[in-house]
Amino acid sequence: MRAYAGELIAEAVGVFIIVVFGDSVSAMYFLFDPSPYLNAYWGVAICWGLAVTFGIYATASITGAHLNPAVTLGFACFRQFPWKKVLPYCAAQVVGAFLAAVIVYVLYQPIIDNLLADHNTVRAASSDVAQKTAAVFFTHPHAHITALHGFVDEIILTALLVFGIFAITEQYNDMAPMANSGALLIGLLVALIGGSMGYLEAWAINPARDFGPRVFAYIAGWGGNAFPAPKDFWWVPIVGPLIGGVVGSAAYQWLIRPFLPDLVAARAERPLESSQNKESEESDE
C-alpha cells in the first residue's frame, strides 16, 4: 500500500512540475505587454518541453513517469500496465495539475487582476482580455478552429506524442536513447509538437494538463470561459488526447514493433531455447 501511494504521489508531483512551469510560461506569454515571447514562440515550446523533461527525471524511477492519462491508457492497452491502476493514476495526474494551477495563480494574480482592471472587465466576461487571462491555465482554439476540428487535431497530435514515447522507451529498439537521455528526447518531442502545431489549439496533448487547471480556473471565477468554454471546447482536450493515445500506441505496436530486428531475433531464439531445455530434461531422465 505504501509503494502504491508513492506511485500516485509521484504521478501527481510529475504533472505538478510540468504544469507549474508550463502555465507560468503561458502567463509570461499572455499577461505581459510586450510579451517576452512575442517574436520567440519557440521559447514557449522549449519551456514546456523542459518542464516535461524535469517531471520525468523527478519521478520516472518510481512509476516510469506516465504524467499523462493518454500515456497511461496507451500503456494499459499495449504495455501490460494494470487496468486497475488507470483511473487512480489519471486522478493523481489531474490533482497535480490542479495544484500547479493554484501556485501559478498565486504567482501571477496581481498581474491578472491589474490587466483585467485596466480593460474594465472581469474574469468571467466574454471579452478578449478575460479569455487571454484564462489562457494562462488551459488551452483555447485558434479563432478559425472549430471544436470538431480541434478534436481531430488533438487526436493527431497526441498520437504523434505517444507514438514517439513508445519508440523512445521500447526495449527492443536499438536506436532508442539510453534510459537517462530518454527524458530529454521526450521533452524535445513535446517542444517539437508545440513549435510546429501549437498555435492550432495550444497543444494540450494531455487531458490532466488541461482539465486540472480548467477546474481551478472555474472555481477561481473564470466561469463560462472554463466550462463550457468558448465554442463548447472544454471536452476536446480531454477526449481527443485519450483517443490519440490509443491510436499512437497502436500504430507503434502494429506498424513498427513487430519488425524490430532485436525483437525478431529474440523471438527466433525462444523456440531454440525451449527445444534445448526439453532435450536436457529428457537426458536427465
User: What's the confidence (pLDDT) of residue 284?
Assistant: 55
User: How far is Cα 66 from Cα 207, in angstroms, rounded to an integer?
Assistant: 12
d(CA 66, CA 206): 11
Q: Which residue has the higher pLDDT, 213 or 282?
A: 213
Mean pLDDT of 193-211: 97
Q: Look at the block and give the residue holding cell 505581459.
A: 32
Q: Are 236 and 228 in contact (CB under 8 A)?
A: no
For range 68-76, the mean pLDDT: 98
Listed residue (206, 168, 215, 222) closest to 18, CA to CA: 206
Joined grid coordinates for residue 220: 477561481
Q: What is the pLDDT of residue 180?
A: 82
- pLDDT at site 281: 52
d(CA 200, CA 187): 20
Q: Residue 282: pLDDT above 60?
A: no
CB 251 within 8 A of CB 163: yes
**Tens-place pLDDT, residues 212-262:** 999 999 999 999 999 999 999 999 999 999 999 999 999 999 999 999 999
Residue 94 has pLDDT above 60, yes or no: yes
Q: What is the dihedral sign for C-alpha 22, 194, 78, 91?
A: positive
Residue 271 pLDDT: 66
Mean pLDDT score of the chain: 94
Q: What is the pLDDT of residue 56?
A: 97
Report how far residue 153's alpha carbon sits from residue 278's, in angstroms, rounded to the nearest whole number: 53
Highest-scoring range by mean pLDDT, 67-71, 266-270, 280-284: 67-71
3-state secondary structure of 145: coil
> What percentage of the chain exceeds 90 in pLDDT?
89
For residues 59 and 10, the answer to whether their CB atoms sit within 8 Å is yes
Does position 92 have pLDDT exceeding 60, yes or no? yes
pTM of the model: 0.93
Q: What is the pLDDT of residue 140?
A: 94
Please name the residue that has the C-alpha cell 500515456: 71
What stretch of H or E contains 281?
Answer: helix 261-284
Residue 285 has pLDDT above 80, yes or no: no
Instruction: Indicate the pLDDT class of residue 118, thresholds 50, 70 and 90.
Output: very high
* Confidence (pLDDT) at 138: 98
Instruction: Identify whether the C-beta of residue 165 lies closer than 8 Å to the C-beta of residue 71.
Output: yes
* Angle at the Cα of 202 from the Cα atoms of 196 and 208, rounded to 5 degrees: 120
pLDDT confidence tier of residue 269, bands split at 50, 70 and 90: confident
Residue 87, pLDDT above cutoff 80: yes
What's the pLDDT score for residue 178? 76
**Strand locations in the chain, DSSP E?**
none
What per-residue confidence (pLDDT) applies to 39? 85
Per CATH, the homologous superfamily of domain 2-277 is: Glycerol uptake facilitator protein. (1.20.1080.10)
> Taking the mean position of all CA atoms in its chain, how far away is CA 221?
25
Helix (H, G, I), strand (E, B) or coil at 120: coil
Query: In the chain, count of helices (H) and strands (E)?
Result: 10, 0
Position 272 scores a pLDDT of 53
For residue 283, pLDDT beyond 70? no
Segment 233-243, tens digit of pLDDT = 999 999 999 99
**Cα pseudo-dihedral 2, 7, 12, 18, rounded to 10:** 150
| pLDDT of the residue at 274 | 56
pLDDT per position as a tens digit, 141-188 = 999 999 999 999 999 999 999 999 999 999 999 999 876 899 999 999
What is residue 38's predicted lDDT score, i.e. its pLDDT? Answer: 83
Question: What's the pLDDT score for residue 278?
Answer: 53
